[in-house]
Amino acid sequence: MAKAKPPVQKNETIDLSFEDLTHEGNGVGKIDGYPLFVPYGLPGETAQVKVVKVKKNFGFGRLVKVNEASSDRVEPPCNVYYKCGGCQLQHMSYAMQLDMKHKQVKDAMHKFGHLSHVPVHPVIGMDDPWRYRNKIQIPVDEQNGQLKAGFYQKRSHKVIDMDTCLIQDEQNDRMVETVRRIAERLGISAYHEGNHRGDLRHIMVRTGQNTNDIMVVLITRTDKLPGKDKLIDEIKDTFPNVKSIVQNVNSEQTNVILGDKTTVLWGDDYIYDTIGDIKFMISPKSFYQVNPNQTKQLYDKALEYADLRGRETVIDAYCGIGTISLFLAENAKHVYGVEVVPDAVTDAKKNAKLNNIDNAEFYVGQAEKIMPWWLSQGLRPDVIVVDPPRKGCDENLLHAMLEMQPERIVYVSCNPSTLARDLRILEDGGYETKEVQPVDMFPQTNHVECVTQLVLKEEAGS
């Protein structure tokens, strides 16, 4: 029996009605049941689409012309939006963005966790979903003899020259442009991936949103930085609230931005910021949430789910620089944080000291190895908080959590699919998923963060 051919061919132009969105924000339309995924298409629209790739069970298209526009379609305010790979959702209303992310979490709960019964609350959004990022790291390139700075074009390493990025803190924006202009005038060359030559690879700027502190990090190929002293003087003169100017050397041929060697050229080793009442020291390599306003919303919900009364022992796995740990410590008897990155643990200890918090301890290591050892030593937490990377929790960590049998688990996640997968394992191990609260940490992009509460079932704990 001959296999059915797809009903469309590559390079064919067709009329298509969009009925759904993928979790990446692409429009989904069907021709005789055959799905086509098309960037920038919105549900309820009809459009002219050029077929660009055909596979056995689905294909991809390019939006040529919108025939009937959705009421949720908006004009992107960014003039490089359709070239740049930084944002994916500027063409849709913010209300639709939040609805899309809510559906993404609900679909993941159903598909990967078989948890359709679990309440997924509406996404906590921002009053103003622009200019929220406190950290920018921009590649530098040379085009037509001029130094350019901008994000990479989608699916490429071509730098899109840009004057401003509307999701970045305005100061960071101006700082990148200032550094680029000064560097060009001083004859500092851009790094070239192809021949592994040139001076300046990336410009990074970090801002304390609530302190107004600024740190500038110049990522270079070698220790050599022409006009270094003049560059420092001009940055200081232009931005008096710069607290730190740092050089990071990355001599490797790699996509990783930061190298191993970091030198403070001028000013302090750290800048500071606050989330709620907690103050944090931020170094060039610190993992610190890029949207502090929404981080406060996320952590407030995590605290609510932890339900601390001042007598609990808490473990914070994947604790980073202690951001969640220190919030928990204000309401817990004792907090144990564990993190695999030694520099992060050093920062966590400094942050605890900075805030006069003495009931939080931090350890270097893999949580999945340290937690069974803690259990063997008699440590039995009342609450465990996890905030893993996108790949989710290590399976051994999930089993260690199940062995410890805390009364409550608070799971913070940046990936609904791996969250749902892990919740299924915890449910099968004796926990009940009570509710999921998504938080929009990254407006205009397809990412969504969630915080989830699980409680130990009575029969499991008996």
Distance CA 173, CA 168 (A): 6
Task: Note if 414 is an active site residue.
Answer: yes
- d(CA 42, CA 13) in angstroms, rounded, equals 18
Q: Which of 84, 165, 319, 414 is catalytic?
A: 414
Which strands make up the sheet holding 334-339, listed edge to edge? 360-364, 334-339, 313-317, 383-386, 408-413, 449-456, 431-439
Judge contact between 385 and 439, C-beta under 8 A. Answer: no
- Give the three-state DSSP class for 236: helix
| One-character DSSP codes across 118-133 | S-BPPPB--SS-SS-B
Tokens 């025939």 correspond to: 67
Helix (H, G, I), strand (E, B) or coil at 344: helix
Q: In the structure encoding, which two tokens stand for residue 331, read together?
A: 């309401």
Q: Could you give the angle at the alpha carbon of 140 between the alpha carbons of 139 and 142, nearest 5°?
A: 145
Residue 339 tokens read as 């993190």
Three-state DSSP state, 386: strand
Give 407-440 as a DSSP string. SEEEEEES-HHHHHHHHHHHHHTTEEEEEEEEE-
Cα→Cα distances 246→55, 203, 215, 289, Å = 48, 10, 8, 20
Residue pair 449/298 in contact (Cβ under 8 Å)? The answer is yes
Kindly list the catalytic residues. 414
